Amino acid sequence: MAVNCGGFRPFAMMAGEDGSFGYEMEIITYPGSGINSVADLAGRELAFTSQTSNSGYRAPSAIIKSEFGLEAGVDFETPFAGTHENSILGVIHKDYEAAAIANSVITRMKAREVISEDDYEVIYTSATFPTTPYGTTHNLHPDLQKKVQEAFFSFDWEGTQLQAEFSNNGESQFIPIDYAERWEIIRTIAEANGVTYDCD
């Protein structure tokens, strides 16, 4: 939406020392729920985060429909939790039977000891998606755009809050990105979900 309607120009995202990046969408449930596979969601409940979220809504909706023949809101109930954290905690506290989440969020929550590995079970893991992009608006002066990029690519992570929060995901630098290439899988999922951009 930001790129197509707002003129957003993404130029960087977080990555590991070796340049690896991204996260996977996972479908989780609580131990003993009786949901052992995606097929078991029929007639049950799968929490989403929000309708604008890739891993929290768009990707699982498209994947579950294409791979398993189950349609959100028809074959299973779809409450919206608002955030990945809410979805994860909702499953652990048995407010939701299952949830679609970004596994990078669950990794950070375990690192903070908010939750543990025994609190949930994973029944599906997707292909890798690109993580959050950082960029500038299209009408920012080119010289300033260049300076913003330089600030990202010269940023020293050592001892920062950023390092404390994201090193658990193995992220330790910003790398250059290309929207056309890196977000192709996201656009494919959006197209499969019938997403259109009304920019008026």
The pLDDT value recorded for residue 130 is 87
Residue 4 binned pLDDT confidence (cut-offs 50, 70, 90): confident
Query: Is 80 exceeded by the pLDDT of residue 168?
Result: no
Contact yes or no for 84/27 (Cβ under 8 A): no
What domains appear along the chain, each with residue ranges and CATH number?
2-21+132-185 (3.40.190.10), 23-129 (3.40.190.10)
User: Model pTM?
Assistant: 0.73
Query: Is 80 exceeded by the pLDDT of residue 166?
Result: yes
The pLDDT value recorded for residue 20 is 86
119-147 average pLDDT score: 94
pLDDT-above-90 percentage for the chain: 68
